[in-house]
Amino acid sequence: MAAAAKQPSKASGQAFGIDIGGTGIKGAIVDVATGELVTERTRIPTPHPATPDAVATVVAQLVEDAKWTGEIGATFPAIIQHGVAHSAANVDPSWIGTDVDRCFTDAVGRGSEVTVLNDADAAGIAEDRFGAAKGIDGVVILLTFGTGIGSALLMDGVLVPNTELGHLELDGHDAESRAAASVRDEHGMSYKKWAHRVNRYMQHVESLFTPDLFVVGGGVSKNADKWVPLLELNTKVVPAQLLNDAGIVGAAIAAAERLGE
């Protein structure tokens, strides 16, 4: 695997990052030149049902509480194409077809535009700029193992959005139904048994993309020493570094760089 110096991010200054999850919505001001949080993360429980109006109200509240005016980025657990949601995971189905960029921008007001992207894509951007994939040239694939399997694909630091590799067909099944971290928990699997499934899945991804690096994230990455060494892959595998900050940081970067376009 070759390491190469990348051009520094064109983003500078600060932006507000928001990470929307199934149980909580978190936000903080981010220094987009360093990837560091300027303020403590603020968390508000995700409303149920998580309808567009309900989630937009929480997003606006986080921005209001931070007294923030400026660029805002937000992750969203869905396929996001040109700001529009084309799926809905852990949120209300009414999001499908919703212009999420516009929904949040209208809710926030303050003359701020909100840039929305898929949650795994945001984590991939953050890990590429400031985490486990920093300085790595070529193809990097981030896989997040949680309730499902999220993915981000980057080529020389440029994101290919909405890859949804957790939904590849594997042995006649949706891959995440076999290898997500939630499956290990549900069936009380040992790390050894679960790692066998993860290995089968990642070998399949490896055969399709021949990446230069895999980054594995999600809560289970905190115990990477218990399962990553059991994987038998040609590609190097490293645990994510930014953990709970990755979505916030990646969203802020996306917002700041959209401003610079």
Please indicate, yes or no, if residue 45 is contained in any of the structural domains: yes
Contacts 24+ apart (CB under 8 A), 51-54: 51/92, 51/94, 51/95, 52/92, 52/94, 52/95, 52/98, 52/100, 52/103
Please indicate, yes or no, if residue 96 is contained in any of the structural domains: yes
CATH code of the domain in which 150 resides? 3.30.420.40
pLDDT at 4 over 80: no
Contact indicator for 32, 14 with CB cutoff of 8 Å: yes
Closest among 223, 225, 204, 217 to 244, alpha carbons compared: 217
Please indicate, yes or no, if residue 6 is contained in any of the structural domains: no
Q: Exposure of 19 by Cβ count < 10 A (0-12 exposed, 13-18 middle, 19+ buried)?
A: buried
Question: Are both 251 and 233 inside the same structural domain?
Answer: no
Question: Are both 151 and 197 inside the same structural domain?
Answer: yes
Question: Are both 154 and 202 inside the same structural domain?
Answer: yes
pLDDT in tens, 172-191: 999 999 999 999 999 999 99
pLDDT in tens, 123-157: 999 999 999 999 999 999 999 999 999 999 999 99
Confidence label for 6 from pLDDT (cuts 50, 70 and 90) = very low
Residue whose entry in the numeric block shows the structure tokens 């931070």? 66
Please indicate, yes or no, if residue 255 is contained in any of the structural domains: yes
Other beta carbons less than 10 A from residue 236's beta carbon: 12
pLDDT at 259: 57
Least confident of 21-30, 137-146, 154-163, 252-261: 252-261
Query: Residues near 36 by Cβ (< 8 Å), separated by ≥ 6?
Result: 30
Question: Are both 57 and 91 inside the same structural domain?
Answer: yes
Question: Are both 22 and 62 inside the same structural domain?
Answer: yes
pLDDT at 261 over 70: no
Q: How far is CA 38 from CA 14, 17, 29, 66, 124, in A?
A: 8, 11, 5, 11, 21
Residue whose entry in the numeric block shows the structure tokens 């983003």? 11
- CA–CA distance, 64 with 58 (Å, rounded to integer): 10
pLDDT at 110: 79
Q: Whole-prediction pTM value?
A: 0.92
pLDDT in tens, 200-222: 999 999 999 999 999 999 989 99
Question: Are both 32 and 74 inside the same structural domain?
Answer: yes
pLDDT at 12: 63
Question: Are both 18 and 72 inside the same structural domain?
Answer: yes
Confidence label for 111 from pLDDT (cuts 50, 70 and 90) = confident
Tokens of residue 64, six digits: 């209001």
**Number of folded domains in the chain?**
2
Cα four-point dihedral sign 126, 116, 21, 176:
negative
Structural domain span for residue 41: 14-121+245-259
DSSP labels, 89-108: SSS-GGGTT-BHHHHHHHHH
- Mean pLDDT of the region 1-21: 66
pLDDT at 112: 87
Question: Are both 233 and 252 inside the same structural domain?
Answer: no
Residue 47, preceding peptide bond in cis (omega within 30° of 0) = no
Contact indicator for 238, 214 with CB cutoff of 8 Å: yes
Question: Are both 98 and 158 inside the same structural domain?
Answer: no
- CA–CA distance, 207 with 157 (Å, rounded to integer): 21
Question: Are both 109 and 172 inside the same structural domain?
Answer: no
Question: Are both 234 and 252 inside the same structural domain?
Answer: no
Averaged pLDDT score across all residues of the chain: 93
pLDDT in tens, 35-90: 999 999 999 999 999 999 999 999 999 999 999 999 999 999 999 999 999 998 77
